[in-house]
Structure 1
Amino acid sequence: MLLVKKKGQGVKYGYQFLRMRYIIMADILFEDIFGVKDIDFGGKKFLRVSRIFCESESFKMELLLDVNTQIYPMELGDKFRLKICTTLREDGKPDTGEFNQHDAGPSRADQFEYVMYGQVYRIEGDESSATDTASTLSAYVSFGGLLMRLKGDANNLHGFKVDSNVYLLMKKLAF
């Protein structure tokens, strides 16, 4: 059992609490702030959907994302917070696969404006970086036909697994 003591207070945290903190962190696969660099660069393909190209501030990841612009309009230069996680539950416990409005407690979705649910369908490495020391990976997710590609350092994408279900959460930042 791992115990952490504070001076004069005895045992502050038990093993169960520390394990729970790890679980909460393990269900968040990626989180960063992105800036929109380009919109529909290959030409607009659908009336209510735009493909945005973004770059993250902290990890320098590239993001290609299809967004329903009728629901959530995006403009060039917008900055937003993006979180990709395996559950919407604040306590980090896995979803049961069913939504029960009466059992619904606090949700991560409450803090965001745009939420999508999808499945990781492909993860691939960049062959051109075979000689580089840092490997590059791309994770592909389909959100019911709206696609996402997150590309960058493999260390930032280690939690993505093919056929796993994920939530994408977005909230625009005011700058």
Structure 2
Amino acid sequence: MSENILFESSFKVNDINSAKYDRVSRIKAYNDNQDILLTLDVNTELYPLNVEDRITVALALSLNLDGSKDDGKGWREVGRGEQTLADEYDYVCHGKIYRFEEGSGDNIKVYVSFGGLLLYMDGPYASLNALRIDHVYLLMKK
């Protein structure tokens, strides 16, 4: 895992709730160690998921492969004509980490907003502490 990628883990989708919106579903998934809970709103029209699917989720500082800053460019303008982290994943969002909370034991809770689509992670401090920054890219693949 490069310094650019703050978090990366494989998850198994345990639950999908599509009741509230037409094109957005809230998924719940646990990582392989069963110590991190991921709850994520996904545009399932763009990226369909099913219960039991295995996904890899990464959170990164930048889409640049060398980890350099995006220099204020919009995320869609980063890397035009050059390879980026986005090329290695199927689903990419840019968002803001807006809250941290203490969880039970050594766990912490992380909340991220991707323009209204929310991410919530509850897991060990050691795994999630690197996310104490403002903005992050969500990268996901099956």
Give your verdict on TM over 0.5: yes
> Letter of the aligned partner of 2:40 in structure 1?
L
Return the structure number with greater helix share.
1
What's the counterpart of residue 155 of structure 1? 126
Q: Which runs of 4+ in 1 moved over 4 A?
A: 99-104
Q: 2 CA distance for matches of 1:85 and 1:61? A: 18
TM-score (norm 1): 0.74
Do the aligned residues in 2 keep the contact of 1:32 with 1:58 (CA within 8 Å)? no
Do the aligned residues in 1 keep the contact of 2:63 with 2:78 (CA within 8 Å)? no
Quick one: structure 1 residues 76 and 121, their matched pair in 2 at CA, closer, same or farther if it must change by over 3 Å? same
Structure showing greater radius of gyration is 1
What's the counterpart of residue 52 of structure 1? 27
Q: 1 CA distance for matches of 2:116 and 2:78? A: 26
TM-score (norm 2): 0.91
CA RMSD of aligned residues (A): 1.9
Which 5+ residue runs of structure 2 have no aligned equivalent?
none
Match of 2:89 among 112, 122, 131: 112
Quick one: structure 1 residues 48 and 65, their matched pair in 2 at CA, closer, same or farther if it must change by over 3 Å? same
Alignment of 1:1-175 (within 5 A): 25-40=2-17, 44-58=19-33, 60-99=35-74, 100=77, 104-126=81-103, 129=104, 132=105, 135-161=106-132, 164-172=134-142
Higher relative contact order by CA 8 Å / sep ≥ 6: 1 or 2?
2
Do the aligned residues in 1 keep the contact of 2:25 with 2:41 (CA within 8 Å)? yes
> Letter of the aligned partner of 2:46 in structure 1?
I
Name whichever of 46-55 and 56-65 sits farther off.
Answer: 56-65
Do the aligned residues in 2 keep the contact of 1:32 with 1:59 (CA within 8 Å)? no
Identity across matched positions, percent: 39
Which 5+ residue runs of structure 1 have no aligned equivalent?
1-23
Return the structure number with greater strand share.
2
